[in-house]
Amino acid sequence: MRDHIHKVHSASILQINVSPGGVPKRPIPAGVVTSLGIAGDKQAHPQIHGGPRQAILIVTSEGIDELKEQGFPLYHGALGENLTTRGLDRRSMRIGQRYRIGEVLLEITKIRAPCDTLNPYGPGIQKAVYDQDVKAGNSASPRWGLSGFYASVLRAGTIHPGDPIQLVDETA
């Protein structure tokens, strides 16, 4: 198998987050990534969240900053993300893309539809991160990716804050 690696403008993990269920998720010094997510992380509603196709939730720190500028009292981990990234362009992220973080390989499986667990951060936050265009898969929406992306784990391993994130196309 040959890997073709694309430069993602020095993207990296800013913070790794887990919780016993719900939001916010709190930072940990390292994450052991399995096919079902990060060890020690739980979901408040496992019938909706989690599972192999939604093992990891990725949110960009730049997206969080945009929402903070709109007046939402957010911080890294507040949106329930497992990985807060720096340097990934949410507008260029797509379903099916694969990202390598050290020995871990993730594949973007779906965009996250926000739910009522985000409401403590203010009325209107769900509309601020998600609209009909996003729901329809239109990446031209200014809200594209603000709610985060779910990923499945194709290769397990351990990750740390500061680890580089590389967009990869794996071909046989």
- pLDDT confidence bin for 72, thresholds 50/70/90: very high
Which residue reads 């887990």 in tokens?
18
Whichever domain contains 61, its CATH number is 2.40.33.20
Strands 56-60 and 83-86: parallel
- pLDDT confidence bin for 117, thresholds 50/70/90: confident
For the stretch 9-57, pLDDT in tens is 589 999 999 999 888 999 999 999 999 999 999 877 766 667 899 999 9
Q: Contact, 55 vs 152, CB < 8 A?
A: yes
The span from the CA of 106 to the CA of 127, in Å, is 27
Paired tokens of 26:
């709190």
Helix (H) or strand (E) holding 66: helix 61-69
- Considering only residues 115 and 141, tell me which one the structure prediction assigns the higher pLDDT: 141
Cα separation of the two ends of the chain: 5
> For 67-83, what is the mean pLDDT?
97
Model pTM score: 0.92
If one counts the domains in the chain, the total is 1
Please give the residue range of the domain that contains residue 81. Answer: 2-171
